[in-house]
Structure 1
Amino acid sequence: MSILVPTYRHVSFIGDCLDSILQQSLIEECEVLVGEDGSDDGTREICMRYMNAHPGRIRLFLNDRSRVIQVNGVPTGRRNLMDLIVAARGRYLAFCEGDDRWCDPGKLERQVMLLEKHPEAVGSYHSTEVIDELGNSEGQAFREPLPGIYDTSNIASTLSPFHTSSLVCRPIADLIDPPRWTWSVGSFDMALFGLLACQGPLLLSDGRMSAYRKHGTGITRHVFHRGMAMHVQRMVIWARLGGYCSRWPTSSLEGALREHIGQVEREGGRRLAIRVWANALWKAAPHSLMRPLMQARLLLRACRGR
């Protein structure tokens, strides 16, 4: 098992994150790969202390900011994560960003047992608690209720299906060497979830076993995770996955795109919906092989309204 911990400017949180990982019942069978992405707030020094305290368990990768991939001028951590995936040596991959944490010492054991029982599945996910900057519960889940299975029939949506800290998956080829178009999409995690679903189902593991921390410097503050930009970015993901994965049913993609357009219509009217769709279509081309009929039907719906 390889546990991947990308971190950047998480000085107040990285210790809590690593402590929660080291408490896992399967930790003796795991390697912990920490990617420190050039922080200037003391995060790097904390990571080095943990590496020295757990030699052979924690592998620390010290990055600088010169290789950071930017999306619409905004620095992202995807190069850091991609490098960790390539460096991983385990039969399974688990994910926990440096500002999140795990809540159940049996999390990994439970998910690995599920995947061992179901070799046809590519991954497992579970419910995630939402906590504040101080680690206090906000009394809600990141996403609930969760279906018992995600695959290409239902994973495409306007919302992220589950939180990344809940994912345990097999190291499929498209994660180790993701398509180049994933580098420029706004929601890299959703693109990876889609690539996994192209290879097989993801199964629900019972329990709320991780925590997503909301704080002022979290990833969701970025403009491409909000408003109309979010709709454009996610429509691009589904359009490109439709061209990349032949197993993806047209009805699923069409449903997700309709959801996006419908939300834009309700919030900003039909003209804005048309502009958003045209923007997404432009950004997706020429990677998308979506049927022209689907594009025409969606444009017609945007023009006519709900």
Structure 2
Amino acid sequence: MENQNIIRRLPAPIAVSEQEWPESTTPVVSVCCMTYNHENFIRKCLDGVLNQETLFPIEILVHDDASTDQTASIIQKYEKRYPNSIKAIYQEENQWSKGVRPNPAFNFPRAQGKYIAFCEGDDYWSDKGKLQQQFDIIEKYPDVKLCFHKVLVVHDGDHARLGTPTPILTKTFYSCRELVSTNIIPTCSVLAIREAVIETPDWYYKLPMNDWPRWISACKDGYAYGINKVMGVYRIHSGGIWSAQNVGVKVISDYDFYCEIEKNGPICSRALAADARRALVRKLINQEEERLFRIRNHVIFGPLLKLWEKFINKNIFS
């Protein structure tokens, strides 16, 4: 492998699909792409990466998790057309259902880039200058470990149902502590320093969300840089692993997340995680106040509710 501190550059940015590099060239960016039953989306995802106009070489690491539709077939056609850029793994058995996270298990170990970018198979990049702009920012600011941007939310893959660009950014630099209370970083928007994101501690696998804890850990001794510009699209559809979850499941997941960060996360994030956990419980209790009013005045259930609230205050808020 070449010295990653020596970055090969083109005289001017051109599309990845048109770049030609010597066979021994080490990519500067490794794009990690997880797919599962994304036959309606994967073309746009791969096109968005191949259309990136950069000064440097990249590699596209695709992991297909035993799709039961035509996703793998579509990827194979792209891989055949762009063999120097696309490197795919095709699973015969679904790994996610076994508790295996494809990026740390299969994509990170083979990633050669100094930087890691993310784009899952049902999302895509809409700005051809996205990677180059993010690369320039991280190279400019030594304390920036991760760069992200706003994305447009598309519901059910239907452009007639466009959502609001997210997240709402009020500043540029975000510390580890500021990433704890709410996940403001869309996965498909991230370009990060390799060493900052490939570390995957054991407690990470206890959490249902895939990348939020990774962003927090990545910035434990640095910052995330937010670009206030839409450069990608995040799809919400019935086949999405996270977006398909109901509100109740997400609330429980958030609570479990705060507990794990409070216990095992970076030191700088633990106190904020504890505060966020308590705030979440208070919010849920407040939402139930009106429903609980009648129960409090019930002869039998009223005393039981008081005992339950006493238990909550002692074990959750203390």
The bucket for the TM-score relative to the shorter chain is 0.7 to 0.9
Work out whether residues 146 and 204 of structure 1, in 8 Å CA contact, stay in contact via their aligned partners in 2: no
* Larger Rg computed on CA atoms: 2
- Root mean square deviation of aligned Cα: 2.7
Superimposed CA distance per residue, residues 247-282 of structure 1 (whole angstroms, 9 cap, x where no aligned partner):
3255422332233113312333587xx79x97xxxx
Task: Say yes or no: does 1:168 pair with 2:191.
Answer: yes
* TM-score computed with the length of structure 2 as normaliser: 0.77
Counterpart selection for 2:86 from 55, 58, 65: 58
Q: Of 255, 263, 276, which aligns to 1:256?
A: 276
| Structure 1 residue 244 displacement after superposition | 2.7
1:136-285 superposed matches below 5 A:
136=160, 138-157=162-181, 159-172=182-195, 175-223=197-245, 226-269=246-289
- The 1-side partners of 2:98 and 2:221 are apart by 28
Of 98, 104, 108, the residue aligned with 2:121 is: 98
Rounded to whole Å, the distance in 2 between the matches of 1:147 and 1:177 is 27
Structure 2 gaps, min length 5: 1-28, 293-304
TM-score, scaled to structure 1: 0.80
Counterpart Cα distance in 1 of 2:210 and 2:233: 19
* Cα deviations by residue, 1:68-107 (Å, 9 ceiling, x for unpaired): 3456xxxxx7235542122111000110010101010000
The secondary structure found in structure 1 opposite 2:167 is coil
In structure 2, what is the Cα distance between the partners aligned to 1:199 and 1:239? Answer: 21
Find the aligned partners of 2:106 and 2:32 in 1 and give their Cα distance: 10
**Contact conserved, 1:69 with 1:78, CA < 8 A, in 2?**
no
> How many residue pairs are counted as aligned between the two chains?
272
Unaligned runs of 5+ in 1: 72-76, 279-294, 301-306
**C-alpha distance in structure 1 between counterparts of 2:67 and 2:271, whole Å:** 44
Q: Given the superposition, is the C-alpha separation of residues 146 and 31 from structure 1 closer, same or farther in structure 2, using an over 3 Å criterion?
A: farther
Give deviations 1:124-172, integer Å, cap 9, x for gaps: 1111111241445614113213532222221112x42121011110112
| Distance in 1 separating the partners of 2:238 and 2:177 | 35
SS in 2 for 1:123: strand
Tell me what 2:21 maps to.
Answer: none
1:78 aligns with 2:101: yes
Going from structure 1 to structure 2, the CA distance change for 1:179 and 1:45 (only over 3 Å counts) comes to same
Whole-angstrom CA distance in 2 between matches of 1:105 and 1:230 = 33
Identity in percent: 24
Q: Which moved more, 1:107-116 or 1:184-193?
A: 184-193
Determine if the alignment matches structure 1 residue 18 to structure 2 residue 42: no
**Larger helix proportion, structure 1 or 2?**
1
8 Å contact kept, 1:5–1:34: yes
Deviations 1:43-86 (A, max 9, x none): 00000000000011111111232533456xxxxx7235542122
